[in-house]
Amino acid sequence: MTREKSFDVIIVGIGGQGTILASNILGSACLLERKPVKGAETHGMAQRGGSVESHIRIGGVFGPLIPPGTADLLIGFDLLEARRYAHYLRPEGVMVVNRQLVVPTSVHMAGTPPPTITQVEEALEGFRLCLVDAEALAVQAGSPLTQNVVMMGAASHFLPLGYESLRKAMELQVPAKTVETNIRAFELGRDAGKECGDRITPR
């Protein structure tokens, strides 16, 4: 019996960055295309700033949790979180990461010097990496709260889902009064990710 391989996506960030909404957009897009999807989330509930991870498996027959070293795509809403979960990627996997660094409270409390953006980027060298300035693009779209949707637009080049499905899913998942702003954010993110899509070819 042949067991079909799923396309595995892990989305990581911290509380308040919209990680769960992003995973819901992916799930909704799968339903629109009638593709089987499984997902699981780990998050610190009311712990704003705590680590959040979502596993999404598109297609396939196995359970919702992605084993380390096998994810096809990692979408990181924060540089440090992307580095923390990088071991989930398979060697040929792609990483789409927001070029933002939020220093954990524990670092401040310990009195240790926080890492710089440059240091974390150096730690990610060797990965098939697409860096996106999601904050600037979200502000350009009309709201800094749309950084998660910017990231979904950028990541759309690496997903086995159609542009129309992803955009429609986004419109269904965000609050109705913010649809126009989120459409702009999605399109700006998609434009930003195009260069990565051209540069990082599938393996």
Of the listed ranges 38-47, 80-89, 110-119, the least confidently predicted one is 38-47
What CA–CA distance (Å, rounded) separates 124 from 106? 22
Which of 18, 19, 23 minimizes the C-alpha distance to 64? Answer: 23
Chain Cα centroid distance, residue 115: 22
Per-residue pLDDT, 203: 55
Task: Give mean pLDDT, residues 9-33.
Answer: 94
Mean pLDDT, the chain, integer: 90
Question: Greater confidence, 110 or 6?
Answer: 6
Question: Greater confidence, 188 or 49?
Answer: 188
Say how many C-beta atoms besides its own lie within 10 A of residue 192's C-beta: 22
Give the 3-state secondary structure percentages of the chain, helix then strand then coil, rounded to 5: 45, 20, 30
Predicted confidence band of residue 54 (pLDDT cuts 50, 70, 90): very high
What CA–CA distance (Å, rounded) separates 29 from 139? 25
Predicted confidence band of residue 48 (pLDDT cuts 50, 70, 90): low
**Predicted confidence (pLDDT) at residue 46 exceeds the cutoff of 70:** no
Who's near 182: CB < 8 A, 6+ residues apart? 141, 146, 149, 170, 171, 174
DSSP letter at 158 equals G
**Segment 64-79, tens digit of pLDDT:** 999 999 999 999 999 9
Question: Greater confidence, 201 or 34?
Answer: 34
SS3 of residue 94 by DSSP: strand
What CA–CA distance (Å, rounded) separates 180 from 142? 9
**Segment 93-152, tens digit of pLDDT:** 999 999 998 877 766 677 778 889 999 999 999 999 999 999 999 999 999 999 999 999
Per-residue pLDDT, 140: 98
The token duo for 198 is 């051209």
